[in-house]
Chain A
Amino acid sequence: MTDVVLENVGKTYPNGYHAIPSVDLSIEEGEFIVLVGPSGCGKSTLLRMVAGLESISEGELRIRGERMNEKEPAERDIAMVFQNYALYPHMTVYANMAYGLKNRGVPKNQIEEKVTHVADMLGLTELLQRKPGQLSGGQRQRVAMGRAMVRDPKVFLFDEPLSNLDAKLRVQMRVEIRQLQRKLGTTTLYVTHDQVEAMTLADRLVVLNKGKAEQIGTPMDIYNQPATPFVAAFIGSPSMNLIDANVTEQGVKISDAVTLPLSHEHRGEVVWGIRPEHLVVCDEKNADFALRIQAVESLGAETLIHGVIDEKSGKNEPMVVRLAGPHLPDINSLIWLTAPVQHWHLFDAKTQQRL
């Protein structure tokens, strides 16, 4: 069953700024959707429009088939977790979680039952009588989630909920959020700028750029088949090597000196891309091109080699190679690489679409 539908939803601010031109998205019940994009791409605005904290200027938002555009946030049956948690500082954890239910006139014994249940699930039972000021960041994060969960809403909205936590806690909470969502089966909309979070949490990803949904799909689809150079560069770390190239009779000409053989019906300007992990080190004879090493980042499990190709023409196209395991090549030395054709990504330079 479709749970949340955004139909041509757009946002224009009173000063004329067109933040979101038009977004179409339909979310299945129980689905975990992650909105991801660089800062200023409108992902938070979109989430706030679903929440009802920003008005919807164009299009329609439906939750369970019901038009929501004019409804107050409280009437939409959604719950939101904010970036800085937005806990009521003067209330105890219990009161924080109970407040929404109290305002809805839920009887006291039911409130107590629900809060105790959720607190138990999140491991907050010990902390119920504390104030937010006496909690650590991770605990506050949990309380904020608990406050959303007690209401048993139709949709959860998360606005970069993990960005204020330290790295270790972030990983832990990420896993926990995913598990809780699976267990509760609540439709979830999650905003983040962190692509690891996006890839690991999402059933489907929405990559936003300048208010437009560049691509909507499962994390693996987006990783394997990015629709545009923007998506290709944004998803994946280190990001994909993208080089302006030209498709001719001989193949893909990525520089004056390097032409990679490929027969393709397309002719003209393209963006050629390959992920750092797909480049293969080989000997000089079989190589497609040589890389002049400029920097090496050894991470133990993998090694990132930064360098430039195409030195002769002076274009110095930067390229990153990712190798498994530790390697210690000399700076300024050359390594030879092949780019297996099955891992290429080609985009039309004009339309920015995948070929």
Chain B
Amino acid sequence: MIENRPWLTVVSHATLMIGIALVALPVWMALVASTHPASAFGVGHIPLWFGDAGVDTWKTVLFEKAGNGIDTPVFFMMLNSLVMALGITFGKIAISLLSAYAIVFFRFPFRNLCFWIIFMTLMLPVEVRIVPTYEVIANLNLLNSYTGLTLPLIASATATFLFRQCFLSIPGELVEAARIDGAGPFRFFFDILLPLSRTNIAALFVILFIYGWNQYLWPLLITTDDAYYTLVMSIKRMLSVTDGDIAWNQIMATTLLAMLPPVAVVIGMQKLFVKGLVDSEK
């Protein structure tokens, strides 16, 4: 709809601005709150402009200790979260690429059965099978380890399904041309398939990174050692104070820090992400 009506422009811009304000207000308040001393919140009014304790709070939280019984600095927990998120993302992408490759391009007995079994795991997310999964991980002595944090979350039917659809759209003639050009299964995978699914991988990376970063329940269960705490779960821990005041300023700073990496990933990969969802250059 390309119309030139000044009122329409004004109204639509106003609507957009109200929307942005609604979304941004909580973030703004969190940012402001992190710059006031913890005591500022007890008095009943919410400050709307920066205080003077900002630098101190952020320094403490980021590099010394997060507070409220957690002695690890946020910086360290961010690293843990990053390791977990990237581990889940790359693990999922690698496994799904391989399984989709097998299902689409190779003829083996029970091929369809394999696909449907993988497909059915969609009905069993981690939350449903959390007790048995915990037992398995505990028996394997993987509590409090990066492997334990990532491995159970890696198996993924959604990504397999996505890559399957992507591979199915690759014309058969292309596969045959590669065969005639002497590309074996490995060459075909690395030279043709990977470059062709580049945008899909990027789109999936964004989705999976956020999924991995925001994991809450699973890390909460299997980490008891501060050294493996992830950022998202420790925010909750910082809230559960039995006596004394909740350190809202520190919590707000931590929350903002927890939001940063997903935002960075989305902004950084926006172009590829949209391309991966919209067009196919095949």
What residues make up the interface of A, taking CB atoms closer than 8 Å to B? 51-53, 72-74, 78-80, 82-84, 86-91, 99-100, 103-104, 133, 147
Contacts and interface: CB of A to CB of B under 8 A. Distances in A.
Interface of B: 171, 173-174, 176-183, 187, 191-192, 195-196, 198, 281-282
8 contacts: A51-B180, A73-B176, A80-B180, A86-B176, A88-B177, A88-B178, A89-B281, A147-B177
Contacts of B195: 90-91
Contact of A84 (B171, B179, B281): B171
Contact of B173 (A78, A79, A86, A100): A86
B182 A84 contact: no
A73 B281 contact: no
Contacts of B196: 89-90
A103 B181 contact: yes
Contact of A80 (B171, B177, B191, B192): B177
A204 B176 CA distance: 27
B179 A82 contact: no
A52 B198 CA distance: 30
A141 to B, nearest CB: 14
Nearest to B280: A89
Q: Does more than half of chain A's interface fall in helix, strand or loop, or is it mixed?
A: loop
A103 B177 CA distance: 13
A253 B170 CA distance: 58
Contacts of B198: 90
Contacts of A133: 281
B176 A103 contact: no
A154 to B, nearest CB: 13
A263 B233 CA distance: 102
Given A52-B179, A73-B180, A86-B177, 8 more contacts: A53-B176, A74-B183, A80-B177, A87-B177, A88-B177, A88-B178, A90-B196, A100-B180
A83 B180 contact: no
A83 B171 CA distance: 12
A86 B183 CA distance: 14
Contacts of B181: 74, 99-100, 103, 147
| Among B171, B173, B195, residue most surrounded by chain A Cβ atoms (within 10 Å) | B173
Given A99-B191, A103-B187, A133-B281, A88 B180 contact: no
B179 A53 contact: yes
Nearest to A131: B281
A86 B182 contact: no
B180 A79 contact: yes
A72 B198 CA distance: 29
Contacts of A72: 179
Contacts of B174: 86, 88
| Among A51, A99, A104, residue most surrounded by chain B Cβ atoms (within 10 Å) | A99
B197 to A, nearest CB: 10
| Among A73, A83, A84, A147, residue most surrounded by chain B Cβ atoms (within 10 Å) | A73
Contacts of A83: 173
B208 to A, nearest CB: 23
Nearest to B187: A103
Contact of B179 (A73, A104, A147): A73
A123 B244 CA distance: 81
A100 B181 CA distance: 4
Contacts of A87: 177
A89 B282 contact: yes
Nearest to A103: B182
Contacts of B178: 88, 99
A86 B171 contact: yes
A53 B175 CA distance: 10
Nearest to A48: B176
B253 to A, nearest CB: 44
Contacts of B179: 52-53, 72-74
| Among B176, B177, B192, B196, residue most surrounded by chain A Cβ atoms (within 10 Å) | B177
A260 B181 CA distance: 59
Q: Closest 10 A-B residue pairs measured CB to CB?
A: A74-B182, A100-B181, A86-B173, A103-B182, A86-B177, A90-B195, A82-B173, A73-B180, A86-B174, A73-B179
B176 A82 contact: yes
A80 B179 CA distance: 11
Nearest to A75: B182
A88 B176 contact: no
A90 B187 CA distance: 15
